[in-house]
A = this chain, B = another copy of it.
Amino acid sequence: MELGERKKRILRTVIDQYVKTAEPVGSKAIATMIGLSVSSATIRNEMAELESLGLLEQPHTSAGRIPTCMGYRIYVNELMARPHLTVEESQAINQALSVRIQQLDKILADAGRLTSQLTSYPAYALASSAGAVTIMRFDIIYVNPDSFIIVVMLSNKTVKNKLVNLPFQVEQSLLTKLTTLFNASFTNITEELITPALIKSTERAVDDRDGITAVIAGFAIEVLYGAKTHETHMTGASNLFEYPEYRDIDKAQRLLRYLSDNNELARLPAPEGATEMKITIGPENLAEELRDSSVVVARYTAGDDMQGLIGVVGPTRMDYSKVAARLSYIARGLSWLLSGSIKLPDALGQYDED
């Protein structure tokens, strides 16, 4: 697609203006805004051509023009300004992210909230582990005769625990024996390999008649199962209402319903290959519910196995350049934070697109 310089300028002006006002923009308005000293009639001719190229459209005959999804696509790929964050903005993000080293889920929720606040669009964050997760080690802590704590460390470097209360007493020596056996037989295997047969044989080996072996094995299965599923967070959904495109209740409802379904969230578009960020505009989205919305999503990494996405959903009339810049910065911040570094660097660099 080869566009003349002036056409590009007009397209950009239409988009920038439409993003701000949500009103179709007319030739006269552009003529005054654009630096060039040409009349509105000239602009009209250019706009008519842009329309025949499929980049602009008219909602009805006598209104101004609005960008089509293809127009946004050109804008995102070629035209969009790449605003650097101001010092204040990046400091605010750094500060928000570095407040407290917490569990992954809390960090994710915070990052989502932060993103939503900074962009004023709904934001989502999700984490998933790349490969199959296994248990790397078991520890069983004897608390008192009728309770103990199971601690397991997973291959993705997370630790889970469970407090078990028994309606009867248990010997500390049994727990010691079980610890050894579980570390020998239940580590480095996936959930499916924890079979009833394996549990039974372990039970017999320690002469456990109370089902304690089964309790521990059950916890192992539960933890492995939980690690397979995605951790998702969604914030700022009510921001949607700020935008006139969602004044239509039914439209808003459909999108909100879609976004509050965690399974659907996990299926949202993701950056491919080595790219850091992906922008999906309107009908480019696979999900029916998103066909007239856009998604901007950035990837962050957390150690070797974990990786996640943080994204923003909004109308196709989205301030792509602002959102992309902030999202990119936050994703990098998350990567820093989660790869174990304690402090954020002063500058994380700026947003570069695909």
Chain A residues with CB under 8 Å of chain B are 100, 102, 137, 139, 141, 143, 149, 151, 153, 157-163, 165, 222, 226, 235-238, 241, 247, 249-250, 252-253, 256-257, 260, 340
Q: Which residues of B contact A153 (CB under 8 A)?
A: 143, 149, 163
Partner of A249, one of B158, B162, B235, B247: B247
> Contacts A222-B102, A256-B238 known; A159 to B163 CB distance under 8 Å?
yes
Distance between Cα atoms of A337 and B260 in the complex (Å): 26
Q: Which 6 residue pairs are nearest across A and B when measured between Cβ atoms?
A: A241-B253, A238-B256, A238-B257, A159-B161, A159-B163, A161-B161
Q: Which residues of B contact A247 (CB under 8 A)?
A: 249
Q: Which residues of B contact A162 (CB under 8 A)?
A: 159
Q: Which residues of B contact A252 (CB under 8 A)?
A: 241, 249
Distance between Cα atoms of A249 and B250 in the complex (Å): 11
User: Closest approach, in angstroms, between the C-beta of A107 and any C-beta of chain B?
Assistant: 13
In this complex, what residue of B is CB-closest to A250?
Answer: B241
Question: How many monomers of this chain does the complex have?
Answer: 2
User: Closest approach, in angstroms, between the C-beta of A265 and any C-beta of chain B?
Assistant: 14
- The A contact surface, by secondary structure, is mixed
In this complex, what residue of B is CB-closest to A163?
Answer: B159
Q: Which residues of B contact A260 (CB under 8 A)?
A: 235-238
Q: Which residues of B contact A159 (CB under 8 A)?
A: 149, 161-163
Given contacts A159-B162, A241-B249, 7 further A-B contacts (CB under 8 A): A102-B226, A149-B153, A161-B161, A235-B260, A237-B237, A237-B256, A237-B260
- Cross-chain contact A238 with B253 (CB below 8 angstroms): yes
Q: Which residues of B contact A141 (CB under 8 A)?
A: 139, 151
In this complex, what residue of B is CB-closest to A248?
Answer: B249
A–B pairs, 18, beta carbons within 8 Å: A100-B222, A102-B222, A102-B226, A139-B141, A151-B161, A153-B163, A158-B163, A159-B161, A159-B163, A165-B340, A235-B260, A236-B260, A237-B237, A237-B260, A238-B257, A241-B256, A247-B249, A249-B252
Q: Which residues of B contact A249 (CB under 8 A)?
A: 241, 247, 249, 252
Q: Which residues of B contact A143 (CB under 8 A)?
A: 137, 153
Distance between Cα atoms of A212 and B340 in the complex (Å): 16
Distance between Cα atoms of A292 and B79 in the complex (Å): 47
Q: Which residues of B contact A237 (CB under 8 A)?
A: 237, 256, 260
In this complex, what residue of B is CB-closest to A225?
Answer: B100
- Cross-chain contact A157 with B163 (CB below 8 angstroms): yes
Distance between Cα atoms of A236 and B157 in the complex (Å): 33
Distance between Cα atoms of A100 and B340 in the complex (Å): 33
Q: Which residues of B contact A158 (CB under 8 A)?
A: 163
